[in-house]
Amino acid sequence: MLSQLLYKKGIESVVLERKTRDYVLGRIRAGILEVGFVGLMREAGVSERMDKEGLVHDGAVISFGEEQFGINFKAHTGSNIVVYGQTEVTRDLYDAREAAGGKIVFSVENVVIHDADCDAPFVTYDIDGAEQHVTCDYVAGCDGFHGVSRQTIPLEVRQEFEKVYPFGWLGVLSQTPPVHKELIYASSERGFALCSMRNDKLSRYYIQCSLSDSPDDWTDAAFWKELKRRIPAEHAAKLVTGPSIEKSIAPLRSFVTEPMRWGRLFLCGDAAHIVPPTGAKGLNTAASDIHYLYHGLVDYYQSGDGEGLERYSEKALARVWKAERFSWWMTNLLHRFPDQSRFDLKMQKAEFEFLRENAGAQMVMAQNYVGLPY
Ligand SMILES: Cc1cc2nc3c(=O)[nH]c(=O)nc-3n(C[C@H](O)[C@H](O)[C@H](O)COP(=O)(O)OP(=O)(O)OC[C@H]3O[C@@H](n4cnc5c(N)ncnc54)[C@H](O)[C@@H]3O)c2cc1C
């Protein structure tokens, strides 16, 4: 995304990716785009398919056992979200970069960022057994949680904040129509479930599971049976099941590293922060980082104004922490925790009822869900 945005402003970049193109496009991940993300897709000139095929959602359903209510994002904020898979976003961006002659090098190995705290940083990597060298003005560390960028920042400079949740999400993708036109976030005695989708014929469902589970422990039949037990009976009765196309388990974690800039290296997205997926903020928070870095770079190259780059970490973190708070809050509201007391359960129920009855609380949730302003 950053590479494509910069290209539109005449700024050159090279993208290094350690996996193959096919591998990246086969990786099933996020699918809910905030209003700001949709704006970036348009600004990058890659929104044609998203505008045609993306599903516009004005709200979502929240259930607690058999009780349920809808939150209308559009009524509370004037905005909506768009359901369009992360793999489709990436495909559109790859296609656009390739059509414009952009340089994306796949299957790179041994990426090392050198001299990021000096005026002349460079990056080395191996491809087909030969070392390559890229000199540059700046390095955008967009290489995810397990990449090398964050590790490049010395430990004495870095501060890390982490919360690990005692459960994971088992996700299933299936070629079946979604059970409901809107997403259903369900809290039940047996744990959390989410009914999501990618399009009218492709559904994405999740259930809270134990961290010791493996996807092989769950047959498709066992998954569907458990999902039905966690959502209101009205929806369970309508659920269309089918073979899973993809099945995976993701552990849930909140994580932030500070600062997000070290010299000429800027951390973006999962390289700097992770959220539990409950609030659909992972991909969207990566995008807000890109917004701040993109504008900082454009201001610097077009008018010599370096303030945006100087203040990148401060601006990005201010929004990141709010997305962390919202994701943590939704996770706490909707999941069953192993050490939860009877008092804790009453608090969850009271929070659910307050949200159901209080327009102010719904507005706060809607503002966060469609995305806080950049
Ligand atoms: C299984 C899974 C399911 C998810 N589901 C959801 C969801 O439903 N909703 C949601 O909002 N978010 C979800 N997320 C989170 C969301 O996908 C991420 O927040 C988002 O992809 C972050 O984008 P990014 O560009 O920072 O990192 P990534 O998308 O991880 O991209 C980083 C890239 O860097 C590459 N890379 C890593 N190391 C190196 C290296 N050393 N050299 C070169 N390249 C390297 C990786 O191969 C990868 O392609 C999910 C994540 C996972 C893992």
Q: Which of 178, 277, 335, 374 is catalytic?
A: 277
**HSE-up of residue 16 (Cα within 13 Å, Cβ side):** 22
Give the sheet arrangement for strand 139-141, strand by strand. 139-141, 265-267, 261-262
pLDDT at 35: 95
pLDDT at 356: 98
- Whether 175 contacts 187, CB under 8 Å: no
Q: Which of 76, 180, 235, 281 is catalytic?
A: 281
Q: Is 269 in the pocket of ligand 1 (CB under 6 A)?
A: yes
Instruction: List, in order, residues 6 or more apart from 216 with CB less than 8 Å away.
Output: none
Q: Is 147 in the pocket of ligand 1 (CB under 6 A)?
A: yes
Closest CA to 148 of 105, 111, 178: 111
Q: Is 143 in the pocket of ligand 1 (CB under 6 A)?
A: yes
**HSE-up of residue 303 (Cα within 13 Å, Cβ side):** 7
Pairing of strands 244-258, 159-174: antiparallel
Pairing of strands 183-188, 59-64: parallel
∠ Cα 213 225 183 (to 5°):
90
pLDDT at 160: 98
Q: Kindly report the protein residue whose alpha carbon is nearest to atom 29 of ligand 1.
A: 144
pLDDT at 28: 85
Q: Which of 138, 165, 369, 374 is catalytic?
A: 369
Q: Which two tokens stand for residue 292?
A: 């701040």
Dump strand ranges (E) for the chain: 14-16, 32-33, 55-57, 59-64, 67-72, 81-83, 103-105, 109-114, 122-127, 130-135, 139-141, 159-174, 183-188, 191-199, 202-209, 244-258, 261-262, 265-267, 273-274
- Whether 52 contacts 61, CB under 8 Å: no
pLDDT tens, residue order, the chain (374 aa): 999 999 999 999 999 999 999 999 998 889 999 999 999 999 999 999 999 999 999 999 999 999 999 999 999 999 999 999 999 999 999 999 999 999 999 999 999 999 999 999 999 999 999 999 999 999 999 999 999 999 999 999 999 999 999 999 999 999 999 999 999 999 999 999 999 998 999 999 999 999 999 999 999 999 999 999 999 999 999 999 999 999 999 999 999 999 999 999 999 999 999 999 999 999 999 999 999 999 999 999 999 999 999 999 999 999 999 999 999 999 999 999 999 999 999 999 999 999 999 999 999 999 999 999 99
Q: Is 279 in the pocket of ligand 1 (CB under 6 A)?
A: no
369 catalytic per annotation: yes
